[in-house]
Amino acid sequence: MKLHIGADSQTGLVHSASVTAANVHDSHEVPNLLHGEETRFYGDSAYRGKQQRERLKEIAPKAKDFTNKRAYRNCPLTDADKETNRRKSSVRSKVEHPFLTLKRLWGFAKVRYRGLAKNANRAFAMLAMLNINKWGQPLVGEVRPA
């Protein structure tokens, strides 16, 4: 099982998620993770390619592609490309933070049930709890000024 999430780069809130079998490539789930109002799309080098850029333009026409550059055989990345990838990865790390909580703190590193549907249900409930946990602090404040 593989959990794919789409998160807001500023707040870190998870806005979309999908669960697939482990043999599905990450780039195939991009249409399910975008809501269409994105202005930037961050991804690792697996999300590069002409087909991926065309798909991105269809789903989110305002989104600019900020995927990491890839090194090829006999064509390594320049120091400027490495620095650019490092800056992009610092933004992409917001998407990795929910996985820390899910896997390490809440023990969702291995599936508990047989079948994708039951595990997907559990994953979506945990992601909802994660969003509430992350933004529950402002909700606990005073309701009316005294």
- Per-residue pLDDT, averaged over 106-112, amounts to 84
Specify the pairing of strand 2-7 against strand 14-20. Answer: antiparallel
Judged against a pLDDT cut of 90, whether residue 53 lies above it is answered with no
For 49-52, the CB contacts below 8 A with 24+ separation are 52/27
How many structural domains does the chain have? 1
Given this model, what pLDDT does residue 83 score? 92
84: Cβ–Cβ under 8 A, 6 or more apart, which residues?
69
Q: What is the DSSP letter of 10?
A: T
User: Is there a domain that residue 121 lies in?
Assistant: yes
Residue 6 lies in a domain: yes
Please indicate, yes or no, if residue 29 is contained in any of the structural domains.
Answer: yes
Higher-pLDDT residue of 126 and 142 is: 126
Q: Is the pLDDT of residue 140 over 60?
A: no
Per the model's pLDDT, the better-predicted residue between 137 and 101 turns out to be 101
Give me the mean pLDDT over the 27-34 stretch: 82
Q: Tell me if 146 is assigned to some domain.
A: no
Task: Tell me if 145 is assigned to some domain.
Answer: no
Give 74-106 pLDDT, tens digit per residue: 999 999 999 998 888 888 887 888 888 888 888
What proportion of the chain, given as a percentage, has pLDDT over 90? 18
* Partners of 69 in the β-ladder: none
139 pLDDT higher than 60: no
Check if the beta carbon of residue 71 is closer than 8 Å to that of residue 47: no
Domain-located, residue 118: yes
Phi and psi at 63, nearest 5°, equal -80, 135
The domain of 53 spans: 2-139
Quickly state the pLDDT bin for 125 (edges 50, 70, 90): very high
Closest CA to 30 of 13, 21, 43, 11: 43
- Res 20: pLDDT: 92
Residue 44: phi, psi to the nearest 5?
-80, -175
For residue 93, being part of any structural domain is answered with: yes
- Domain presence at residue 25: yes
Q: Which two tokens stand for residue 88?
A: 């992009």
Burial of 15 (0-12, 13-18, 19+ CB in 10 A): middle
Residue-level pLDDT at 124: 92
